[in-house]
Each structure stands twice: as structure tokens, then as C-alpha cells.
Structure 1
Amino acid sequence: MLAVPLLGLINQYLGFLAMIAAIVLVWKDSPWQKGAKVAATIAAMALLGAVLPDPPEEGAAGVARKDRKAAAARTLTSPSPSAAQDDPSPTTEPRPEAADYRGMRLDEARDKAEAAGFGTSDHNASDDDKNIWMRSNWTVCFQKSSWTGSETKTIDFGAVQTGAPCPSTDGGAIPWPTMPELTWKTWKTARNEVVALGVVPTEHLRADTAYLNDTLPDEGKYDNWRVCATDPLEGADVTINTWVTLELTHPDNGCPDPSQSKEDRVDLPDRDDDGDPDYHDPFPGDRNRNSVFPNGLPDSSGNSSGGDGSDGDSWNCPRTRWC
């Protein structure tokens, strides 16, 4: 019996086992009377109970139980990193990108975008506030695709008139080229430089004479004539609607005073006052003959006046060029 409380002090489970063994021995092998056996059993239980620690209070036990439940709940509701990696969140399907329609004619770009399922719109990409009327005459510079709230895909085109350069930003100013410096360059060289600007069609480029009484020879025969003035002036913007005029002079002549206005253009020297400047008049002292009418100028009646004062019938004198 004494072993029961001693083992109970060491470990409550050892004490409990010792108590069971002691009760079995008392009831099985002991010659004691029944009453003594009952008393011994009670005594063994009392001795073990005396040395066991007091049970925890209900409050502490409740708190402990609640803490254990909370930890378990956190464990159940907080997925582990590996679980999160194994169960990725659902992702949306990637939205298709629009093709690149920049540089394409506006009407063709709209047709292709609509065929691809896009709703289309367009606007003037420059700051000149012009409305787009004939889309076939406009070129796409910018495009912006988006999705509406009903998941409809749309694309908006920013365009400029065909032939115009694109602005650096949508809605910005068009970077028009400017008139180059062409003074004293040949017609052929100057013409090529204007065409190289990329906005002036050849039918918008013309040649004129720098002097009022001068005349251009046939096309192709003034390629080496020199530029005296330009319209527009050097440094001015050249747009797709600009007509360019280059005022030329024969290389044997200098240019008129640049300070004179176009309306005050001067004449080349013409001693016989026949309208044919001296530099190409084969008869600079005879107003009745010039480079156009070497056999005499026709009179008002349609005949010619001979250089020697004879009547018009002698204009085509036989065996001689002159009358």
C-alpha cells in the first residue's frame, strides 16, 4: 500500500498502476476478511488521490479548448503555400490584339477591321479641324482599340489626308516640309528638290519667267535656266494643296532685284522695243524682225511688214530670207 502514494508522487500513471495491482493482491491473495479488503481498497485510492495534482479549473480548460479550436480553424481555413501553388486562381482568356493598320488607306483599314469583328470609328489626327468626308483620300496614322462594357471590341482610327505627313502625336500639328533655298539653281535641280518634298505633285509645279518680257522656250529646252524667285518663298510651309512656281531666267542674264515685288517685275533690255529681249533677238536693232518672225512681224491685217518698208506681199521674197 505504501508504494501507491510513493509512485503517484513520481508519476500519476505509475501510481494508478500500483493502486490497481495492490487492490488485486488484496482481493485475490489476502486472507483478510471482506470488510478489511474494502477498507484497504478505499485506503489505496485515498492515498493515490492525496498525492495527485489538483485538476485545472474549468475556466482555464475552456480557454485552452477554445485556443485549440481556433488554431485548428486557422489551419483549416489558411491554405498552405503548396496548396496555393497547386490550385491557381482562374484567369481570363487573353483578348485578341488588333492588326496594325497604320499607313493604310482609311476606307480599307475600316473594312479590314470590321471583317475582323471590330466596331470602327475615325477622326482627324491633326489639329486643323477638317472633317473626314472621303475616307479613300485619308491615310491612317494612329489606332486605338478598346472593349466596351458589353465586351464588344472597337477600334478608333486617327487619319490625315493622303500625302500629308503624320503628326508626332494624335491631334498634333502636321510637320509640313518647308520651301528649300533654290536661288540660282537650275530648273532641273530645283524641280527635283521640290518633288522630293513628297507633298507637291508634278502637276502642281510650274515654271515662269523672272522678267516680264521674257519667254520660256519649249519644255525640255530650259532645264539649265536658273531660279531667281519662288512662290511660296523660301522657308514657307509646303502642303498638299500648294502650287509651286519657280521664276527662271536664262543663265546669260542675272536675276531681277529681289527687293522688287512680283507686280513690279522689270523687263530685259529690248533696244528695238519689239518684245524680244536683246539676248536672244537676232535683230536687236530691227523692231520688224525678231526670233519669232525673222522675215518680218505681221501687221494688223495679218500680212507682214518687210524690213525695207515694202508691202506685205514681199514677206516671202524669193531667193532671199529678208525683205
Structure 2
Amino acid sequence: MHRPPAPSHPSPDPAAPRNRWWSTIRARIGFLLAVPVLGLISPYLGFAVMVVAIVLVWNDGSWRKGVKVTATVAAFALFGSVAPDRPAGGTQGTAARPDGKAAGGAGTMGIPARTSPSPSPTAKPRPAAKDYRGMSLDDAREAAEAAGFGVDEHDASDEDKSIMMRLNWTVCFQRTGWTSSGTKTIDFGAVKKGAPCPREDGGAIPWPRMPDLVWKTWKTAHKEVTALGTVPADHIMASAAYVNDQLPDKGEYDDWRVCVTDPAKGRDVTVAMWVTLELTHPDNGCPHPDGQDGDRPRLPDRDDDGDPDYHDPFPGDRHRDSTFPDGPQGGSGGSSDGDGGGGWNCPRTRWC
């Protein structure tokens, strides 16, 4: 019995597996090439496609490990070529805009980070405060504390003294601010009452200098020292420039002349210091600055009775001077009327 021939099957094509592998590779490569294209459209979309492509590559067992690594690097490079640039220096954070607002920096992988809808914090303005300069430190503190300020104080000069008795200090500078807890503060820079304020906080006090007063009258010199503003009128003293001279009663030496000042000309005249003006009668000159042989200067006194010749009515008689012009109060001898009262040196005096 004749069997019919078995149906013939076509022999497998040896090139078919290779074609399928090549088609898969082209699909993966096309997928990777889509990353930069989609990245130009939207960074988010490009990033998502890149991640999917990398996952497919690493899950495909037909790819060698070296090829997978190369494809992954290529995907990152392609996406990086179209990703938005990072801020200068590659740092993240905030950058100033022309309008003064802060802009968000780039996030991971160059993806723009979300910006906060609330504006960035800015420094608080200085709290408004009354001008307390010129007030006593004690009064300024009390008023500032009543206005809600936390108060601090310091010596405004370069002497950096501790402040005692605030009533005797005057405010020169004030600086306001805020604490970290939101309390407004004020810091006073002060100097001793009567002292001039420094040109800047922490600077030297510009004390007035003693003027040149030599040969000016007491009345004129007294006014000039008082006008300096640091010395009370009752802190200016007068004395005789010569050791054997004596000032007349107050008000009678207004036209006497200044010979020496303490402090000397050009020295600082500080607050509440004592100033001495040494005077001489206008009939006399001032003593030599170096004195006489190192001794205190003396006016001529021929009879050596302690009464300078310029006002001694009897410059050649030591028994009579300006205090007792008719002779000394004591002596010996009898009375001219013989009453036995004796004891007076009577010749040429009014007592005999």
C-alpha cells in the first residue's frame, strides 16, 4: 500500500534569531535616543524616559554587562546635554533677583527645585526710637525702657570706664536693634557730664585746651577759662605770682595780670578740674620762667620787711610797712605825757 508523502516543513532560517536580536537592540537604542529629544520638551519627561530605558537595558539578559554600562553612561550624557544649567559654581541655594526676591536653585540631576510660595526672610528694620542724645543717662534709660526697649550702656570714649552714677553721665550716641527673640534694643554711649562727645563712638574726647593767657587781666582770663565749658567759675583760683606778694581783696585785682597758668598753655582742660592763675600787679613784670636760682620768685624788698617795694610806703624802713605805715604796734620807751603807759615807739607817729 502506497503511503502518501509526509508534508514537508520548511527548514528554519539560521539568520532569524540574529534579526530578532538586532531588532531589539535598535528598539533599545531608539528608546535611549528619545531621551534628549524628550528632555528638550520637558526635563521631567526626559528624566522619566531615561530611567525606563536604563531599567529595560539592565533587565535584558541578551546584553553584555559592558554594553549595559556603556548604554547607561550614554543615557546620562545625552540627558545632561539638554538638562538646564546649574547656578554658577554648581552650588544649590538661593540667588538674588533684580527685584530683590530669592530664586530657587537647581535640584538633583539639574532638575529645578520647587520654590517656596512664601517670600524669603529679610532683616528687620531698625526700630524707631526717640533721640535721647544730650539727656542724662539716667533719664534716657528710664524713657527708653518705658518705650519698650531693652537698654544697654557703655563709655563712649576710648577710656572705656565703668559707668557709675548714671545721673552724672550724658548720652552722646544711641544704636538700636533687635534680639533673636524679637525684642527691640537700644545701646547708649555716654560720657561724664560736662565732657564733650567724641567725634565717633569709642573715640578720644576732644577736651578743650588751655589758651594762652599770659599778661591778660584776671577778669579777661577768667571769662576765657569759663567759656571752655568744662570748668565751673568757682573752680578758677587766683594767687600771687611772687612769694612775697599778696593779693588784695576780691574784686580789687581785676586788672592784675596773668603770669602763670595751671594747667599750662595747650594742656587739656578736663571736666570739673581746678584751674589756678598766678597774678602780678600791672606795675610789675612776670617772674622769669626758670625762677631765681631755683627759688620761688620774689619782688624787690630793700628793707626786707616782707613788703615789696612797689607798694611799701617806706621801702627803706623795715619798721614801717603797708600794714602799719606809722610804725610797728610794739616797742619800748615812755609816753610823752608821762602817764606811764609807755611801750610805744612814738617818734613821728600818730600815737605820740
Band the TM-score falls in, shorter-chain normalisation: 0.5 to 0.7
- CA gap of 1:307–1:167, structure 2 versus 1, over 3 A, is farther
Q: Secondary structure at the match of 1:264?
A: coil
Q: Secondary structure at the match of 1:107?
A: helix
1:321 and 2:350 are equivalent in the alignment: yes
Q: Separation in 2 of the partners of 1:261 and 1:101? A: 55
- CA gap of 1:204–1:95, structure 2 versus 1, over 3 A, is closer
TM-score for the superposition, normalised by structure 1? 0.66
Q: Separation in 2 of the partners of 1:123 and 1:110? A: 12
- CA gap of 1:175–1:94, structure 2 versus 1, over 3 A, is closer
Residue correspondence of structure 1 range 39-58 to structure 2 within 5 A: none
Q: Separation in 2 of the partners of 1:276 and 1:283? A: 9
1:178 and 2:209 are equivalent in the alignment: yes
Q: Secondary structure at the match of 2:224?
A: helix
State the one-letter code of the partner of 1:117. Answer: G
Pairwise CA distance, 1:264: 2.3
**Pairs aligned (count):** 245
State the one-letter code of the partner of 1:250. Answer: H
Pairwise CA distance, 1:296: 2.9
Residue correspondence of structure 1 range 15-34 to structure 2 within 5 A: none
Q: Do 1:146 and 1:154's aligned partners in 2 also have CA atoms closer than 8 Å?
A: yes
Q: Do 1:295 and 1:316's aligned partners in 2 also have CA atoms closer than 8 Å?
A: no
- What is the match of residue 45 of structure 1? none
TM-score for the superposition, normalised by structure 2? 0.61
Tell me which of 302, 305, 308 is aligned to 2:331.
305
Greater C-alpha Rg: 1
- What is the match of residue 43 of structure 1? none
Pairwise CA distance, 1:91: 10
- What is the match of residue 251 of structure 2? 220
The structure that is helix-richer by fraction is 1
Residue correspondence of structure 1 range 36-115 to structure 2 within 5 A: 96-115=127-146
Q: Secondary structure at the match of 1:247?
A: strand
State the one-letter code of the partner of 1:174. Answer: I
Q: Do 1:271 and 1:278's aligned partners in 2 also have CA atoms closer than 8 Å?
A: yes
Q: Deviations over 1:12-55 (max 9, x none)?
A: xxxxxxxxxxxxxxxxxxxxxxxxxxxxxxxxxxxxxxxxxxxx
- CA gap of 1:94–1:141, structure 2 versus 1, over 3 A, is closer
State the one-letter code of the partner of 2:302. Answer: R
Q: Do 1:179 and 1:235's aligned partners in 2 also have CA atoms closer than 8 Å?
A: yes
Pairwise CA distance, 1:280: 0.8
Pairwise CA distance, 1:226: 0.5
1:281 and 2:281 are equivalent in the alignment: no
Q: Separation in 2 of the partners of 1:101 and 1:89? A: 36
Q: Separation in 1 of the partners of 2:285 and 2:333? A: 31
> Runs of 5+ in structure 1 lacking a partner?
1-58, 71-87, 299-303
- What is the match of residue 290 of structure 1? 321
Q: Separation in 1 of the partners of 2:246 and 2:233? A: 21
Report percent identity of matched pairs. 66
Q: Do 1:286 and 1:307's aligned partners in 2 also have CA atoms closer than 8 Å?
A: no
Q: Deviations over 1:200-222 (max 9, x none)?
A: 11222101111110000000000
Tell me which of 279, 284, 290 is aligned to 1:259.
290
> Runs of 5+ in structure 2 lacking a partner?
1-32, 45-117
Q: Do 1:183 and 1:227's aligned partners in 2 also have CA atoms closer than 8 Å?
A: yes
- What is the match of residue 197 of structure 1? 228
1:129 and 2:160 are equivalent in the alignment: yes
Pairwise CA distance, 1:121: 1.0
Q: Secondary structure at the match of 1:190?
A: helix
Q: Root-mean-square deviation (CA), in Å?
A: 3.7
Q: Separation in 2 of the partners of 1:179 and 1:271? A: 37
Pairwise CA distance, 1:265: 2.0
Q: Do 2:327 and 2:349's aligned partners in 1 also have CA atoms closer than 8 Å?
A: no
